[in-house]
Structure 1
Amino acid sequence: MKIYHHIDEFTPLKNAVVTIGTFDGVHQGHRQIISRIREIADKTGGETVLLTFFPHPRMILHPEDQDLKLITTIHERAELLEQLGIDHMIITPFSRDFSNQSAEAYIRDILVEHIGTKTIIIGYDHRFGKDRQGGLTELQQAAPQYGFEVIEIPEQDIDHVAVSSTRIREALLQANIEQANTFLGYPFFLTGKVIRGNQIGRQLGYPTANLLVEESYKLIPADGIFAATVEVQGQTFQGMAYIGHRPTINGMTRNIEVNIFDFNQDIYNQTLRMHLHNFVRHDVKFSSLEGLKEQLALDQKSVLTLLNG
């Protein structure tokens, strides 16, 4: 997959099969759209183009709203899209000027002149242009003039619940990892660098790798213990993940840690990816470190049962 960090870097294609959106999480609904554009590109001899935006439009249009966190960083999003076989990913820097384009200018200047769109596939709720005035109707009206076809993907349901990035974020923030993973179509993951902690886990017999997630906009799920798998040094291990403030030792900062089973190597400053599969329990304060140690032994049994059961 070729990645472009501005629309001006892109050379128009003869037969571009295009979709547009933020695609945060690259979830099951997104995958329906991607599957469709690949199918059409294969049939018509075209190339797939995914036009996305960064920063997220809400971060620019509503900077006072600090609550929005994203399921995937822009790098994670690119990785997932490449796995799904997208040919071209255009990351458009989102700004107020960009948002003030009319729907007509957006279609003419970006979709037609810059990309060479011959087919565009959009989700049922996609909006674009100034004040979000553009949508399916505007694309259909412009299609004959510019010679492209418009295909709408209807709302996708899983178990009669609409899939959306918003619903996935809500599930993660409520520690409903299993539901989030069902919507995503893969286990939610965190990527970061291993940093030094205060070695409390090691004292308890459960040494942990402390994960630094550098992107401040990355969503971190609710506090608790999770069944996890960990990718490190090209291998995958099972583990017990922890997110929280370590109340038993009156911790002041929020930590992301994982006790990697059957692993005893120095991985400081290395990149680690942690996939969360199941929620085990909420974070609680114990009266002593011994009480915490006893609970961690039970947690480890629960994690192993969940991962291997």
Structure 2
Amino acid sequence: MKIFNNFTLPNNYKHCALAIGNFDGVHKGHKKVLNESKILAKKNNLKFGVMTFEPIPYIYFTKKKNYRINSLSQKIKFLKNQKLDFLIIKKFDKKFRNLGYLDFLQKIIQKRINTKYIFVSKNFKFGKNRLGNTVKMKKLEKEFKFSTLVTEPFKLKNKIISSTKIRKLISQGEIKKVEKYLGRKWEVEGRVLRGFRRGRKIGFPTCNIDLKNYIIPKNGVYAVNVSCEKVFNKRNGIANIGYRPTFNGKNLLLEVNIFGINKNLYDKKIQIEFKDFIRPEKKFKNVSELKKQIKLDIKKSKK
């Protein structure tokens, strides 16, 4: 998969089938769109690609920090798994946000990329002030020499799968449902930070991770899988997301206890897969009670 950070594509990547969207989560609904695009591209002997935006436009406009299902590197990895020929990651900035929808279609879609087939969702909006939509795209097809394919939402048991729905489920701790909608376990990645080493002092060493721009899951304890490239493969563990009320913590933190690993992982990048929600976060009377509960959490996570 070739990655472009602008609209200057080599000639052999032009005249293509292109899916446009945020693709946050690369969930089953996205995969449906990508599969349809891929089949049409292959049938017409065209390159097949995706155009996405960084930061996600919603984050750019609202300045909301905790919103993403996946990081950019995860998005790239999951899209690569879909066997794209190319990926365009366009920086969403002031200049691009002020580009009118007609200019986008004429100057970029027609002239720069020479797109033949565009795949978008029914609620796709684009251009300055979001004035562009699928109805206008359909009307302009002949003029700009492309065909618009509006994809139907993917449903699972009559429920539409969307990134918005998945974010809500994550915030509610509905990790099993999230896994069904994504088609894989929800995963967070980040570098291990130095903390107060309280976990080690009470016999349960943890890796501390900043959630950065990820959507915040329901506070509490989770059963997880953890991996660290070139250090160890997937291992079981438990994770706590919250403020550590027993220690009067004030900053939100993701802490992970990895079973069978007692190495210094500071500054190492780890991947955390969420398997199940165990219990909400709780303030304990003392450290002894906390240790008893952690032992129960570990036991439950192994079932």
Structure 1 contact 61–96 (Cα < 8 Å) conserved: no
Matched, 1:145 2:139: no
Give the structure 2 partner of residue 87 of structure 1. 85
5+ residue gaps, structure 2, are: none
* Corresponding residue number in structure 1 for 2:233: 235
Residue of structure 2 aligned with 1:268, choices 266, 269, 277: 266
Q: Which residue of 2 aligns with 1:35?
A: 35
Identity between Structure 1 and Structure 2 (%): 29
- The equivalent residue for 2:50 is 50
Structure 1 residues 1-309: aligned runs within 5 Å: 1-7=1-7, 9-12=8-11, 13-63=13-63, 66=64, 69-213=67-211, 216-232=212-228, 233-305=231-303
Q: CA RMSD in A?
A: 1.7
Tell me how far apart the structure 2 counterparts of residues 224 and 131 of structure 1 sit (CA, whole Å): 40
Letter in 2 for 1:59: I
Structure 1: unaligned runs, 5 residues or longer? none
Alpha-carbon shift at residue 95 of structure 1 (Å): 2.5
Cα distance in 1, alignment partners of residues 293 and 215 from structure 2: 27
Task: Tell me how far apart the structure 2 counterparts of residues 26 and 167 of structure 1 sit (CA, whole Å).
Answer: 13
For 1:18, give the aligned amino acid: L
Q: Residue 14 and residue 209 in structure 1: after superposition, are their counterparts in 2 closer, same or farther (change >3 A)?
A: closer
Specify the code of the residue in structure 2 equivalent to 1:150: T
Contact 2:48 2:85 in 1 (8 A): yes
Per-residue deviation, residues 158-192 of structure 1 (Å, max 9, x unmatched)? 22222111111111112121222222221111111
AA aligned to 2:216 is I
Q: Please, which moves more after superposition, 123-132 or 238-247?
A: 123-132
Change (3 A) 1:14 1:70: closer
In 1, distance between residues paired with 2:6 and 2:157?
A: 38
Number of corresponding residues? 300
TM-score normalised over the length of structure 2:
0.93
Q: For residues 122 and 114 of structure 2, what CA distance do their matches in structure 1 show?
A: 22
CA distance in 1, matches of 2:105, 2:131: 12
Is residue 59–residue 67 contact of structure 2 (8 Å, CA) maintained in 1? Answer: no
Is the contact between residue 193 and residue 271 of structure 1 (CA under 8 Å) also seen in structure 2?
A: yes
Q: CA deviation at 1:41?
A: 1.8
